Amino acid sequence: MEGQVSSSERAGIVPRPGLSAAPASVRGFWPFLKAPALPDRPARLSGAALTSTVRLLLLDLALLAPIVLVAGLAQMAGYQLPDNVFANMPLTGPLITLIVIGAPLMEELLFRSWLSGRPQHIAPPLLIVAALAALILLGPAQPLAGGATALTALVVAGIAAWRWRGRNPLPFFRRHFRWFYLAATAAFASVHLTNYTEGTALFLLPLVIPQFLTGLVLGYVRVRNGLWSAILLHALHNGVIVGAVLLATRAAGVH
């Protein structure tokens, strides 16, 4: 009705031109990107949340489309991109499972499970990293000590997640959420530098811009809908890429 003030107007958010007809989940990404803020609670698993996950996947793919186009034009012009470790690997069933299911699950747990700011979500990833560090540092020389330390860290992670369940986000985390969100996104993009077998990190940075953009969307999805939604979107994203590669391979006549 005329004279009523919408919640977005009360919050000082002005809809971007051309986005007024877009779903709320997509429209909300742009104000969030401008001023990342941690909501009190993510949305519960529901049909609406599943729908928003799919819509945000389309947003993710739309953000990547110009980069894919530029990369394709560069290759057509004769520019050779650095080799990717997955380029020469046959897409077998186990590898597809790792890319579509394993990687999204592991990466979301590591990079975005803790973005809720809640103690029960922050402690486990830190302890799991400590467990991995113990295996790497102590495992080769002292396998028993490394295994015992890693197992202890995993047990403590489980206890911490159970004991601190239901607690609110830490005030410090909420105040500085912008930086935690950006740090998680940057770390997620940076780890994909290991996909390339040649070139310095500085030279390769432009090649992980797609992962940075996807990380921005995944972080938004994680705090808006919950970790399950980020894992699902990540899996769908990787599935689309694998499907595109399989179709391109078949079109090229490579078996």
Q: At 35, is the pLDDT very low, low, confident or very high (cuts 50, 70, 90)?
A: very high
In a domain, 127, yes or no: yes
Shared-domain flag, residues 253 and 189:
yes
Asked if 227 contacts 53 with a C-beta cutoff of 8 angstroms, the reply is: no
Same domain (yes/no): 186, 225:
yes
Burial label, 219 (beta-carbon count in 10 A; 0-12, 13-18, 19+): buried
Residues 209 and 245 in one domain: yes
For residues 55 and 232, the answer to whether their CB atoms sit within 8 Å is no
Place of tokens 């992962």: 211
Please say if the pLDDT value at position 21 is more than 70: no
By mean pLDDT, which of 1-5, 163-167, 202-206 is the weakest?
1-5
180 vs 222: CA distance, rounded Å: 13
Domain span at 135: 118-168
Find tokens 């993009």 and name the residue. 189
Average pLDDT over residues 120-131: 76
With the C-alpha atoms ordered 46, 48, 51, 56, is the resulting torsion angle positive or negative?
negative
* pLDDT of 5: 40
Decide: pTM greater than 0.75.
yes
CA 207 to CA 70: how far, in whole Å? 12
Both tokens of 218, joined, read 């995944």
pLDDT tens for each residue of 90-120: 888 888 999 999 999 989 988 999 999 888 7
Which of the two residues, 69 and 222, has the higher pLDDT score?
222
Instruction: Give me the torsion for CA of 97, 237, 28, 32, rounded to 10°.
Output: 80
* pLDDT per position as a tens digit, 177-201: 999 999 999 999 999 988 887 766 6
Last residue of a domain, one of 108, 138, 168: 168
- pLDDT for position 184: 96
Question: What is the mean pLDDT of the segment spanning 113-139?
Answer: 79
Residues 36, 80: Cα–Cα separation, whole Å: 37
Q: Are residues 104 and 153 in the same domain?
A: no
User: What backbone torsions phi and psi does residue 61 show, to the nearest 5 degrees?
Assistant: -65, -35
221: pLDDT strictly greater than 50: yes
pLDDT of res. 229: 95
59 domain-assigned:
yes
| Same structural domain, 102 and 164 | no
Contact 119, 164 (CB under 8 A): yes
Amino acid at 202: L
Cα 14 vs. chain centroid, distance in angstroms?
Answer: 27
Residues constituting the chain: 255
Given pLDDT bands bounded at 50, 70 and 90, which one contains residue 4? very low
Count of domains forming the chain: 2
